[in-house]
Amino acid sequence: MHGSGRHLVYIWLFDSINFNISFKSGPVDRTFCYRAVQLQLYTDSCHQGYVDDYKQGCWSWFEVVILKDANATEPLVRDGKVYSWRSHENRLDSKLDVARHFGVIFDRRAEILDALEPGNCIGVMLCTRFPGWVNDAGEDIFSPMSWTLNTADTPDDIPEAIKDGMYTLTLTTDCYVKSADSNLVSKIWFTTPILDEYTISHIQDIRLFTFAHRQAHASLDSKGTWSWFDLCILESSEATTPKMNQGVRSLVWLSHEISPDATGPGYDINQEGIHFTGQHELISLLKSRDVIGVRVCARFKDWELSTRNGRLVVRISNQGTRRDPRPPKEDWRAVYRANKELQELHRKYMQAFGREWRENGGGVRGVSSLRILDAVMNEVGRQAGTPAPKPCDYFDMIAGTSTGGLVAIMLGRLRMTIAQCMEAYDTLSRSIFDASMLQKAGNANSSGARYSPKGLEDAIKAIVKTYGSAKDGEEIMRDTQDGCKVFVVSCNAKDLSNAPPIHFRTFTNAKVEKSFADYKIWEAARATTAAPTYFPSINLGGHEYVDGGLRCNNPVMNLLTEAALMYGGAGPYACVLTIGTGVASNVALPSSGNNVLTNLWGAAKSGFSLFELSLKTGELQNYFAGPMVGEKAYFRFNVAGEKIAEHFETERSGLFLMNKKEVLYPDNWKDINIDLADWKGMGDFAGKTSDWLKTQQSRIESCASVLRKPTKA
């Protein structure tokens, strides 16, 4: 970002700090706060053009500040702390020439990025102090610095109208030295990049700024100050000792000593070092491939120096001979082509993570789900001006449990139309559940379930023979065609509490231990529909499998997890459609009683309620899945009866039901569901669904509109 126009701050009469917020960003969002890794200011600026005493330092500078919001005119203050950080000073000389100043790099170790909160703004503050000082800035720009501790080449793109470039090499790593005797103890804290002949010939001046302290009490045996900073010439950035001049003299120069005011932890102060100009030996003795190092020093017993951060400011002339254009280090045409190819692959990848659909379990109540899906796909066709498309042509992944699993296999794996699926579903339901009381008793005696598993298996095989590729009905789940992916959910009958749900897939997911894709279609359908008391469990590979609805009656979270494992978690969801088999009435525990009979009856009702609860948790999953996907991409349809508003009812208890109390009942829905095996009630239930759909037309249109957006490559 940048601020256009010219910004000036003057101060003429008083010893006080004057400042002006020259420009600011817009309010930052949470994404910026989490992802921003570096912030830097550079300015094309200058001071008033004359300085009376160079030793007194520069009093024309810039700070980067946090503003509370877009309307704030002063830096944010929290708990007495002003959220402002110095970026850089204007060039200190007697010329009224604009220089380009590169400020401090604020990275993730700096306080400013850690302190930012959503809604804050980042501002640039021009500052001056003492009579006569001026801060004159043109455009201010936040930008990554071109010359850093890890980059040897200074930038070539500074306009010739800018006389100089002021580069701030910043280090925020602590450094500490302590002397135990009269010997010098020192460390090389940081260095410049390797300097080439062009850079050396254009260096105008160098100055070190530090934020440090010494020990609280000096040794009585030493006089003067014995903790200080040096600038030195090194043969390389890995060197630990200064370079020697003709083998006699170390190339080291004092920058500044630690002030007596900076004594002890917590008393760190900012200090400026000696101003080394172009005529100084520090610059004139530099050779190509040398580096300038910052050395931290202490001498004599108990003298120490602890520094928290430092800045080495180097002014490099932008005048005279220009650096020869360097050949590009990269084949940018090849990079461009590779980037385009990568973008196309990324587009396909993100589009693959597009549309998912999952269906609840519910026995013959699956007819309601088919009616809802039929309404959605008909609306897709109406908007597109075409017949209703197959779901397998629009959804990238379909999941289901129990009867929903059976529907998912027919529509996704066998690629049936909804009309074909409805017809097959009706025939299957009649053939399976049209059993007499005597037949149910016989089945229960032989298998513990009311209905024949063979009848279900034969009905599924008949559908596979008609719509699959294996004419014997023994086709496996694994799909050789690349397209809509399907899985159905089942559970391990011997471990319903700890073992994860089982996904019988039509595809291989390399992120899971076993994909269960090589079981036959009828076996996967039997496993997901093996509802206790209705059908017996099925043994596959030595394991007993039962209806997935016992654990995942609404498998939407299974679907989101599977999609994330298959496609990665970065891509957005284009559309997630979930369809239930009817909103059930509230499951409630009975009130506690005050006699043996009431409590025994209450215990029995509690057990039944807990069993009901295991089959009626479908809506709960939507509270988690909806926010994960986003309201514009998440659609949940589940036929519901008449709503019963929150109300009080009178309950009686005790001997002869003499005790009365008012009990508050929350919002509820009139139960319109039919039994899982009530195939004779399917027509009436389908009619109620059609009536309910008339109240959902706007949501159906919105869902269809989202589904029609192209996502597949």
- pLDDT tens-digit profile of 178-207? 998 889 999 999 888 888 888 898 888 899
Residue 225, pLDDT score: 85
Over range 454-473, report the average pLDDT: 91
Same domain, 186 and 126: no
Same domain, 181 and 128: no
pLDDT over 90 at 66, yes or no: yes
Domain boundary among 96, 127, 144: 144
Q: ∠ CA(694), CA(699), CA(702), 5° rounding?
A: 130
Q: How many helices (H) and strands (E) does the chain have?
A: 17, 35
* 246 compared with 507, residue with greater pLDDT: 507
pLDDT over 60 at 294, yes or no: yes
pLDDT over 80 at 558, yes or no: yes
Percent of the chain's residues with pLDDT above 90: 26
592 is catalytic: no
Over range 148-157, report the average pLDDT: 48
* 215 compared with 151, residue with greater pLDDT: 215
User: Could you tell me the CATH number of the domain that includes residue 486?
Assistant: 3.40.1090.10
Domain boundary among 316, 344, 378: 316
* 680-707 tens-digit pLDDT: 777 788 888 888 899 899 999 999 998 8
Could you tell me the pLDDT band of residue 150, with boundaries at 50, 70 and 90? very low
Residue 439, pLDDT score: 80
Please, what is the average pLDDT of the chain? Answer: 79
Residue 235, pLDDT score: 92
Could you tell me the pLDDT band of residue 244, with boundaries at 50, 70 and 90? very high
Residue 435 covered by a domain: yes
Over range 302-311, report the average pLDDT: 88
CA 116 to chain centre: 17
Residue 594, pLDDT score: 53
Nearest by Cα to 130 from 62, 61, 54, 59? 59
Q: Is 666 exposed, middle or buried (0-12, 13-18, 19+ CB in 10 A)?
A: exposed
* 587-608 tens-digit pLDDT: 566 665 555 445 555 555 555 5
547 is catalytic: yes
Residues 6+ apart with CB under 8 A from 193: 147, 148, 149, 150, 151, 152, 237, 291
Residue 357, pLDDT score: 52
Same domain, 543 and 433: yes
Residue 151, pLDDT score: 47
Same domain, 181 and 286: yes
Q: How many Å apart are CA 616 and CA 593, to the nearest integer?
A: 26
Same domain, 380 and 525: yes
Over range 372-378, report the average pLDDT: 93
Residue 290 covered by a domain: yes
Q: Which of 44, 268, 290, 547 is catalytic?
A: 547
The lowest-confidence range among 220-229, 429-438, 450-459, 667-676 is 667-676
Q: How many Å apart are CA 134 and CA 17, to the nearest integer?
A: 12
Residue 322 covered by a domain: no
Alpha helical stretches, state H, 537-595: 549-552, 556-567
Q: How many Å apart are CA 282 and CA 289, to the nearest integer?
A: 15
Could you tell me the pLDDT band of residue 712, with boundaries at 50, 70 and 90? very low
Residue 598 covered by a domain: no
pLDDT over 50 at 571, yes or no: yes
The lowest-confidence range among 76-90, 92-106, 437-451 is 92-106
Torsion of CA 388, 392, 397, 401, to 10 degrees: 90
Residue 63 covered by a domain: yes
Residue 138 covered by a domain: yes
Same domain, 292 and 340: no
Same domain, 442 and 299: no
Could you tell me the pLDDT band of residue 570, with boundaries at 50, 70 and 90? low
Same domain, 511 and 551: yes
Domain boundary among 81, 109, 144: 144
Record the tokens describing residue 245, joined without a space.
């001049």
Over range 140-160, report the average pLDDT: 47
Could you tell me the pLDDT band of residue 140, with boundaries at 50, 70 and 90? very low
* 90 compared with 383, residue with greater pLDDT: 383
Residue 527, pLDDT score: 94
Same domain, 101 and 197: no
Same domain, 676 and 696: yes
Same domain, 547 and 628: yes
Q: How many domains does the chain have?
A: 4
Question: What DSSP element (H or E) covers 652?
Answer: strand 647-653
CA 636 to chain centre: 25
pTM: 0.48
Over range 35-60, report the average pLDDT: 72
Q: How many Å apart are CA 306 and CA 327, to the nearest integer?
A: 43
Nearest by Cα to 87 from 104, 100, 69? 104
Over range 150-161, report the average pLDDT: 54
Over range 606-623, report the average pLDDT: 57
Could you tell me the pLDDT band of residue 330, with boundaries at 50, 70 and 90? low
Residue 413, pLDDT score: 94
Q: Which of 255, 402, 490, 537 is catalytic?
A: 402
The lowest-confidence range among 149-153, 303-307, 582-586 is 149-153
Q: Quote the domain boundaries for residue 570.
A: 365-583+621-707
The lowest-confidence range among 164-178, 240-254, 392-406, 549-563 is 164-178
Residue 360 covered by a domain: no
Same domain, 387 and 461: yes
Question: What DSSP element (H or E) covers 337?
Answer: helix 332-352
Residue 348 covered by a domain: yes
